[in-house]
Structure 1
Amino acid sequence: MSKVLDNIKGHFKNKLNGELLKTTVPEWKTDIYYKPVYSFAVESKIIELQTQGKTVEALVESIVNKALDPDGKPMFHKFDKVTLMNEADPQVLIRVATALNNATSEYKFEDVEKN
């Protein structure tokens, strides 16, 4: 393997293994932890849903895939997606997804309302 690829992998591994970030969700009486970066393997399903115009599903998918407990373990399972989509406050979901996506989310409330 080339030195450049070793450097690329080392850089990414350092970011993945770094300190978890935290967002507090008072409505849910919990803190959600998340990593500052995710691989394209994690992002691909979210991107796919977004490009299909399924903004709500993309938001929920990002929460299911990225929300962690304080130990860095997944907070949700894929089966929780239906509950989050149908039984959770959309405004809270948008706020949480935005935080988990490192506040660079392209989702806007108006886009979600359309779906």
Structure 2
Amino acid sequence: MSAPHDSAPAFANTLRVRPEVLRVAPEGSAPVWMLRVQAAEAWDAVRVACTPESLVRDVKRAAMANLLPDMPDLDGHAVKLRGAEVDESQSLRGVGAQNASTLFLAAHRRRPLK
């Protein structure tokens, strides 16, 4: 018999993530989603506690400050959900994210390898 569907998000959010949880949602706000944000340049990921109404831009800012602290230019990276770039001025719910979704931070321009 397969595991319950509710156990999948908890497992996916534990894969190759830093131990701390970043908060974008105000303390005590409900419902709280736990997203996984991954950056190609960092080969790492963080968990971000947020609400469905949190803006993509706010989640990106928190994740980049932790994963890519040497890259102050937020506009140099796009946020992707299921492979498609999303509008950062929209809410997470508005772009189709769900609890336990993974957002991917990708540079707008590819840089040559050195």
Normalised by the size of structure 1, how large is the TM-score?
0.35
Between Structure 1 and Structure 2, the one with more strand by share is: 2
Q: Which has the higher contact order (CA 8 A, sep 6+)?
A: 2
Normalised by the size of structure 2, how large is the TM-score?
0.35
Between Structure 1 and Structure 2, the one with more helix by share is: 1
- Give the structure with higher Rg (CA): 1
